Structure 1
Amino acid sequence: MKVIVTGCTGLVGSALIRQCIANDDISHVFAISRKPLDEAVAKSPKITVILHDDFSTYSTQLLDKVRGAEGCLWAIGGRATQFPDIETYRKVQVDYTVAAANAFRETLAPLLAAGGQFRFVFCSGKFAEWDQSKPLHFMADTRRVKGLVEQQLCQVADADTAKRFVVYCARPSGILPPDAGLAARLSGKLYGAIDVDHLANALIRVLLEGYKDRIIENRSLLAL
């Protein structure tokens, strides 16, 4: 399978790139990134790096470069506190993600062989909340915005009457980097933290095989 990966230089995105290279079922990766990738990664014959500045728009030229992709692993985002203000967070998390989903649904999904589906796998977060008016007592902005992305992605998929474009929203809890120490791993057990490479492999498996549920909670990711 040929796949698109975004957020390629972040914690989750870089793990996705590593695990895609190692996975024999992934034949090629189109890495759409603002920044160049590590030279050792970029030299892999399985990787095509596409530098892209504005993730709110997808030109015909860019879409031509990813022609043949059968799915997308979307890892752009994070927590609201990592952004200068809530407006920027909404733009990056909601607008960019939905713009890509619409572009891929309209342009790439119809190119697949009969019966094929374009799978868009979004890395969301635990406790994402669809009800935008619900009072929340912790991480309110992050949970509402991630819930809004999930909701709008599902609307994009539902608008595809041919059912060629499908969406999965994965909700990991805390994510442990490869070099996490013993203390971080022990404390992580308290809230179901997941190793980033385990998460990457779980997302890739969903991309390759699909999943029974549209929303994939942390406990299910741990079991994949």
Structure 2
Amino acid sequence: MKLIVTGATGFVGAEIVRLALSNKAITSIIALARKPVEAPDNAGPDADTAKLHSIVIEDWMAEYPQSVKEQIKGADACIWNLAITPTKSMNMDFSEVTKVCHGYTLNGIRNMTGVVNEPFRFIYTSGIAVERDQSKNIHTQPLAEYRHMRVYGSLPRAIQSTDVLDQGRTENDLLEFAQHHETGIEVVSTRPGGIEGPGHPFKPEMGPIWKGLGLEDIHVWLHVSQLAAAMIELSVNGFTKDILWPKELVELGNRVISKEDYVS
């Protein structure tokens, strides 16, 4: 199968590429990014680096050039991992965050439709605190404390609650887009919580924040290799629901990858 990966130079995206290079079910990896994507040095002995094709997109809000559409033609799935993380958004104008997280994503799926295979699986990387209900007033709820990130001094600026609602709006718009294409487009949102891995250690001080979200009874943290493996599995074998939470991503990842294969 032919897989499109966006955000392939990031923490999660790079791990998706690394694991996909060794996945026999994937014959081609189209890495869409803002800079060239190279095969990782730690890809492993079973990796087929010839499968990786890097495409640089200059303007993510414009119609994709015909040369790009020729490269993604016939793709079977896309793992959309291009976004602004909550930490990075703290020092950015929110209109720019919206453009990247919402605008780039919707423009991407629109450009892919018509040149990719059907059914086409679109795996969207969302977040654990996303709220799809756009009418819900989260300012008055305990959840707002976490969304504003005012609990710890190490997170000095608020992540506005509209950040989370905007992500929810993106999920809603993706699902609506897919519904208009009947069975041609299939969309799932993965909602990881804390993601640990090389350079991204587990942070026990986040516990009270997760508890404030009512998430203490489910797996919140997962390893980046578990998440990447789970998303690849969704790309290859499909899905039956439109949201996967951390616990489900952990279980799925554990079925297809062992700790020996985690990125080191």
TM-score range, shorter chain: 0.7 to 0.9
Partner of 2:113: 105
2:22 maps to 1:22: yes
2:79 maps to 1:73: yes
- Give the whole-Å Cα distance in 2 for the aligned partners of 1:212 and 1:129: 21
Partner of 2:196: 176
Gaps of 5+ in 2: 139-143, 148-160, 211-219, 253-264
Please tell me whether the aligned partners of residues 38 and 54 of structure 2 are also in contact (alpha carbons under 8 angstroms). no
In the TM superposition, what are the counterparts of 1:71-220 in structure 2 within 5 Å? 71-83=77-89, 84-108=92-116, 112=117, 116-136=118-138, 137=144, 138-139=146-147, 140-161=161-182, 163-181=183-201, 184=202, 191=210, 192-220=220-248
Q: Give SS of 1:8's match.
A: coil
- Give the whole-Å Cα distance in 2 for the aligned partners of 1:40 and 1:201: 16
The Cα offsets for residues 128-180 of structure 1, whole Å up to 9 and x where unpaired, read as 1112342321322332121111000001101103x111111110111112355
How many residue pairs match? The answer is 215
Instruction: Report the CA distance between 1:193 and its aligned residue.
Output: 0.7
Rg: which structure is higher? 2
TM-score (norm 1): 0.88
In the TM superposition, what are the counterparts of 1:34-45 in structure 2 within 5 Å? 34-38=34-38, 40=40, 44-45=49-50
Partner of 2:32: 32
Gaps of 5+ in 1: none
Could you tell me the percent identity over the aligned residues? 28
- Give the whole-Å Cα distance in 2 for the aligned partners of 1:127 and 1:214: 16
Q: Residue 19 and residue 187 in structure 1: after superposition, are their counterparts in 2 closer, same or farther (change >3 A)? A: farther
Read off the aligned partner of 1:141 and give its amino acid letter.
Answer: T
Q: Residue 189 and residue 208 in structure 1: after superposition, are their counterparts in 2 closer, same or farther (change >3 A)? A: farther
Read off the aligned partner of 1:23 and give its amino acid letter.
Answer: N
Please tell me whether the aligned partners of residues 15 and 228 of structure 2 are also in contact (alpha carbons under 8 angstroms). yes
- Give the whole-Å Cα distance in 2 for the aligned partners of 1:209 and 1:187: 36
The Cα offsets for residues 186-206 of structure 1, whole Å up to 9 and x where unpaired, read as 567885211011000000111
The Cα offsets for residues 59-81 of structure 1, whole Å up to 9 and x where unpaired, read as 22210111121110100113344
Please tell me whether the aligned partners of residues 72 and 112 of structure 2 are also in contact (alpha carbons under 8 angstroms). no
- Give the whole-Å Cα distance in 1 for the aligned partners of 2:40 and 2:121: 28
- Give the whole-Å Cα distance in 2 for the aligned partners of 1:131 and 1:179: 34
Please tell me whether the aligned partners of residues 86 and 141 of structure 1 are also in contact (alpha carbons under 8 angstroms). no
User: CA-atom RMSD, angstroms?
Assistant: 2.2
Q: Give SS of 1:130's match.
A: coil
